[in-house]
Structure 1
């Protein structure tokens, strides 16, 4: 389930699909790589704003399982940007009491990249401030399949009865186990779909689709999306109590 928003209606967990880097660059006659560079700056601004605005969890869709099909030069560039971010920013995030978590499949990733992920998570594991969840090589259908496979293995071993499988057990096998579901999902760039991102976790999430491209996103953009969220009537399938 989602965590309870704060007393002022601020969502506890915000997830963002960071879309539009390439289109931002193309609109300015720049190479797509320029858009990705500016996207990293937007990421930094957003992490700072999330902490300042009282979020407890910020989940960012950085690289999907489908992104591997992009031109190899672009994939290499994106991976190098990620490495630079981890090398240069994780120490600062640690000083700011941010906990870094990385979700997504790690099988098949190069050893050096997996080691960087593990080091970033180990360094910040004890931090108690904002949880920054980076979804890399992530696809929600693949994540759900891994969870089902894990439960099926327990059934095959006689450790679990099929009838005992509950939504809570499935949630516990997902990459996001232990995290509350997102209250709010934001997608930039004008598209209105969630692209295989947190399908299970977003069962009762509020969606806000913004027209600005990700490189343009900042603290004001985040605050505007949160303002829209505060205006939503969330009933989770039920009805609010009627007043006399």
Structure 2
């Protein structure tokens, strides 16, 4: 099979990633957990660059779940500071490359400083027309469904719709990321094989790819391998990781 036979139509439009294994990777290096989180930022850069080259429409990264507040207070504090730092240093690069950044989740629990950074980043990139990067922070799939349900319930109470009018399509429209395609490919690193309350509705028909690679070690080749697996699962074109990499290099 020739590389030219792999078309953009066979690729996933929306890739979601559970970035797992930062702490375990750092422990194996004899370093504190925050060392893994910092190196995880490098993996994010590589993944975004590779996704852009493949003309992926949207990437959603699970950065901080609603359950992660249970972690040690010091680690949570360091993660919040890292989030602020990354927003400060990376958003201009994203804007320069016509990428749109959005943060999804319940942002009310974040500090006012972090909320302002998020607002500024979203406003700066709001009109960009390239790939959408969704950062799921203080996010949970149950929360997403619940907030959509509450919105619909309030409309029913206000007489704007009846219970019988509520449909799957209407529910989808009230979830976060309702304006982009549902997830085609879910990637989880570190060898764990569960979705951990991530995008429960949007993952209904996603292909799920679990890799033993720790997130800080995930790179362009890792994404190419995952996309190659997806193409073989979804399209049965029988392409290889090398062919996906060639497609990336030709963009």
Q: What TM-score does the superposition give when structure 2 sets the normalisation length?
A: 0.89
In structure 1, what is the equivalent of residue 81 of structure 2? Answer: 80
Cα distance between partner residues in 1 of 2:193 and 2:79: 24
Contact preservation (8 Å) 1:6, 1:12:
no
The alignment status of 1:24 with 2:1, answered yes or no, reads no
In structure 1, what is the Cα distance between the partners aligned to 2:234 and 2:38?
37
Question: Conserved in 2, the CA contact under 8 Å of 1:65 and 1:137?
Answer: yes
Mapping for residues 72-151 of structure 1, pairs under 5 Å? 72-151=73-152
Aligned to 2:38: 37
Which stretch has the larger CA shift, 215-224 or 104-113? 104-113
CA RMSD of aligned residues (A): 1.5
Runs (5+) with no aligned partner, structure 2? 1-5, 236-251
SS in 2 for 1:107: helix
The whole-number CA distance in structure 1 between the counterparts of 2:154 and 2:178 is: 18
The answer to which of 48-57 and 93-102 deviates more is: 48-57
- Correspondences of 1:190-209 after superposition (within 5 Å): 190-209=191-210
Q: Within 2, Cα distance between the matches of 1:49 and 1:79?
A: 26
2:167 alignment partner in structure 1: 166
CA apart distance, 1:7: 3.8
In structure 2, the residue matched to 1:225 is 226
CA contact (8 A) 2:22 2:216 kept: yes
Which string of whole-angstrom CA distances, capped at 9 and with x for unpartnered residues, describes residues 160-205 of structure 1? 1000001111111111121110110000000000000010001100
Show CA shifts across 1:67-88 (max 9, x none): 0010000001111111010000
Alignment deviations for residues 208-244 of structure 1 (CA, whole Å, 9 cap, x no partner): 001100000000000000000001147xxxxxxxxxx
Matches of 2:15 and 2:232, distance apart in 1? 16
What is the number of residues matched between the two proteins? 231
How many Å apart are 1:6 and its aligned residue? Answer: 5.5
State the secondary structure of the residue aligned to 2:130.
Answer: coil
Question: Quick one: distance in 2 between partners of 1:108 and 1:65?
Answer: 10
Q: TM-score, normalised by structure 1?
A: 0.92
Query: Gaps spanning 5+ residues in structure 1: where?
Result: 235-244
Q: Does 1:66 align with 2:67?
A: yes
CA distance in 2, matches of 1:108, 1:199: 22
SS at match of 2:62: strand
Cα distance in 2 for residues equivalent to 1:9 and 1:27:
38
1:44–1:7 CA distance, 2 compared to 1 (3 A): closer
Q: Offset at 1:126? A: 0.9
Deviates more, 1:39-48 or 1:185-194: 39-48
Which residue in the other structure is 1:238 paired with?
none
Structure 1 residue ranges, 4+ long, deviating more than 2 angstroms after superposition: 5-8
String of CA shifts for 1:129-151, please: whole Å, max 9, x gaps: 11111001100101111110110
